[in-house]
Amino acid sequence: GNSVTQMEGPVTLSEEAFLTINCTYTATGYPSLFWYVQYPGEGLQLLLKATKADDKGSNKGFEATYRKETTSFHLEKGSVQVSDSAVYFCALRATGGGNKLTFGTGTQLKVEL
């Protein structure tokens, strides 16, 4: 079946540090890939997405590239801010089989001054 694997958290960084959160997936066909962010006390919000191989999704300084050869969709940001502290979820929606979204377990990011 389809699955998403994320790196374990929490990840603690100093402000302006470089961020990478790894995400790999298993799916048949050509899934669409997403990163969602959850701020404390809120629901999940879409951060970025990519719908085909080699697409790069970007938003708010975050980027992720759909790598089919390595089945990966790693999230990166060049300089994190305290306001980026949140939980980040990688997700996929596979082709066929309905519209089920499969999420990873989430990675908590803490950014300190």
32 near another protein, judged by CB under 8 A = yes
Site string for another protein, 60-99 (x = CB under 8 A): -----------------------------x---x-x--xx
Stretch in the footprint of another protein (CB under 8 A) among 11-19, 64-72, 74-82, 100-108: 100-108
Q: Contact with another protein (CB under 8 A): which of 40, 42, 69, 70?
A: 42
Beta-bridged to residue 49, according to DSSP, are 34
Stretch in the footprint of another protein (CB under 8 A) among 18-26, 39-47, 63-71, 72-80: 39-47
Smaller CB distance to another protein: residue 17 or 32?
32
49 near another protein, judged by CB under 8 A = yes
d(CA 37, CA 35): 7
11 near another protein, judged by CB under 8 A = no
The answer to whether 16 and 113 are in contact (CB under 8 A) is no
The answer to whether 88 and 36 are in contact (CB under 8 A) is yes
d(CA 44, CA 27): 22
DSSP string covering 16-71: T--EEE-EEEE-SS--EEEEEEE-TTS-EEEEEEE-STT-EEEETTEEEE-BTTTT
* Binding-site ranges for another protein (CB under 8 A): 31-32, 34, 42-46, 49, 51, 89, 93, 95, 98-103, 105-106
